[in-house]
Amino acid sequence: MELLSSFISTVNNMLWSYILIAVLITLGLYFSVRTRFVQVRYFKQMFKLLGEGASKSITGEKGKGVSSFQAFCISTASRVGTGNLAGVAIAISLGGPGAVFWMWVIAIIGGASSFVESTLAQIYKVKDKNGYRGGPAYYMEKALNMRWMGVMFSILITISFGLVFNSVQANTISLAFEEAFGMNTLVVGLVLAGVTAIIIFGGVTRIAKAAEMIVPVMAVAYVLIALFVITKNVTLIPTVFKLIVTNAFGINQAVGGGVGVAVMMGIKRGLFSNEAGMGSAPNAAATAEVTHPVKQGLIQTLGVYTDTLLICSATAFIILLSGVYTNKDLTGIQLTQNALSSQVGSWGNTFIAMCILLFAYSSIIGNYYYGETNIEFLNSSKGWLFSYRIAVLAMVVVGSVAKIQIVWDMADLFMGLMALTNLTAISMLGKIAFEALKDYSYQKKQGKDPVFNVNNIKGLNNVECWGEIEKEAMNA
């Protein structure tokens, strides 16, 4: 078992450190150039679209279907997890303050990849009883005529996100509550499984509503605490920014193994956290009711920024302003807890435990949905879906009482293979997203609220939903 674990770990290091990161950065830069940095040009438009989506669906009826804001919350729920608290701390402890700079850079580059994959998911979504579903498996089948690739992607994302990652999130919650409140981990696991069951057996609409409630609360609460720490140490802010920039280029390497480590840790932390280009968020993007695919592509790009530039940065500033990052005995969640406690008092540990509950639980329901939509792609049988739901609940309970390293390593491997599969697909389909963006921009320049018409893109085949959407939008 140890030999197998060591082999998988070695493969993971090679996959993530060399192949995957190189592909993610290369494609991110390519998409940025081809879209003329849409992730920057349309930054203000993202907030406007998100605000509109928070109050109504395409038909103007609040609460009908899955709104663009709810779809944004589902993907953000999966993106924002314990890694935003523990992962950033690990990046700083190993790569130094400079890792934060490269985390920001990769978020901006990755924003273009997120735009492309989410726009494609919207174009090739399909209708179901709850509204819409879609994602990489669907555009692999419909746009590339490669169902085998979609099947492979569906299996990989269901295992890594739907099952194993959820057990890891449950493990983090149970350990945090055992540390903070002395609670039995099995009890925590059973309660967590029960609450999860209530949500996941209610379908995507209930998942969307739960995410819509949890995500804003957890994000606002955590950012407010970070702002308190920043305000308390406002005179140190210029020093912290200088520390981040100088360490990013190895000018003043205070902590970590040099500029190479800072770059690698910052990039890996950013990619692991915001998931741009990995094919997970498009599964949520496809559920939204919008008049044009590009609208949801822009909104999902904002999700990358929310995760990395907002939540991860909040953790980074708490740690750097506290100064405890220089203690090499502290890493991961312990570093974050000690940093916050040094600024707000002993109740900081309890606050972090509650943040972990919200962050990790939101990830559980977001990750679950990614598996659900891909299970339905593989087989629409209710029996398969029921079995998957039971497996998810079982993994939540098992994960609460035991963490098996080999399972975590296998999940990393599956996620890496999943990401490469999706990146291959969007590299071949990127031109469709580029044309959709041109169509959107043209309509905006004419002063219109853009409405998608499949005839505006030559050679667009196997698109099921947009004729109906266009008609509804014109009649709204």
Comparing 402 with 391, the larger pLDDT belongs to 391
9-475: which CATH architecture? Up-down Bundle (1.20)
Residue 166: strand pairing partners:
none
Q: Where are the domains of the chain?
A: 9-475
Cβ atoms 267, 124 nearer than 8 A: no
Residue 15 half-sphere exposure toward CB, CA atoms < 13 A: 19
Q: Phi then psi for 387, rounded to 5 degrees? A: -60, -40
Beta strand ranges found along 262-395 (DSSP E): none
Amino acid at the residue 61: E
Residue 283: pLDDT above 70? yes
pLDDT at 147: 93
pLDDT at 296: 92
Burial of 401 (0-12, 13-18, 19+ CB in 10 A): middle
Average per-residue pLDDT in the chain? 80
pLDDT at 426: 95
Average pLDDT, integer, range 307-323: 84
pLDDT in tens, 213-242: 777 777 788 788 888 888 888 888 888 888
Q: Which of 30-39, 164-173, 350-359, 404-413 has the highest mean pLDDT?
A: 30-39
Comparing 195 with 81, the larger pLDDT belongs to 195
Average pLDDT, integer, range 371-400: 85
List Cβ neighbours of 474 (8 Å cut-off, separation of 6 or more): 451
Residue 129: pLDDT above 60? yes
Write out the H or E segment, with its range, that includes residue 135: none
Note the pTM of the prediction, 2 decimals. Answer: 0.84
Q: CA 238, CA 242: separation in Å to the nearest integer?
A: 6
How far are the Cα atoms of 91, 248, 254 from residue 263, in angstroms, in the given order?
Answer: 10, 7, 14
Write out the H or E segment, with its range, that includes residue 356: helix 347-378
pLDDT at 436: 93
Comparing 162 with 153, the larger pLDDT belongs to 153
Which pLDDT band holds residue 372 (cuts at 50, 70, 90)? Answer: confident
Least reliable range by pLDDT among 181-195, 241-255, 355-369, 391-405: 241-255
Cβ atoms 94, 265 nearer than 8 A: yes
pLDDT above 90: percentage of residues in the chain: 18
pLDDT above 70: percentage of residues in the chain: 79
Cβ atoms 318, 90 nearer than 8 A: no
pLDDT at 122: 93
Which pLDDT band holds residue 152 (cuts at 50, 70, 90)? Answer: very high
Residue 472: pLDDT above 60? no
Amino acid at the residue 117: E
pLDDT at 411: 67
Residue 262: pLDDT above 70? no
Residue 64: pLDDT above 70? no
Least reliable range by pLDDT among 37-46, 73-82, 115-124: 73-82
* Helices of type H across 35-162: 38-41, 43-55, 68-79, 86-95, 98-123, 136-142, 147-157
Q: Which of 137-151, 277-291, 369-383 has the highest mean pLDDT?
A: 137-151
Cβ atoms 253, 96 nearer than 8 A: yes
Residue 94: pLDDT above 50? yes
pLDDT at 441: 92
pLDDT at 2: 58
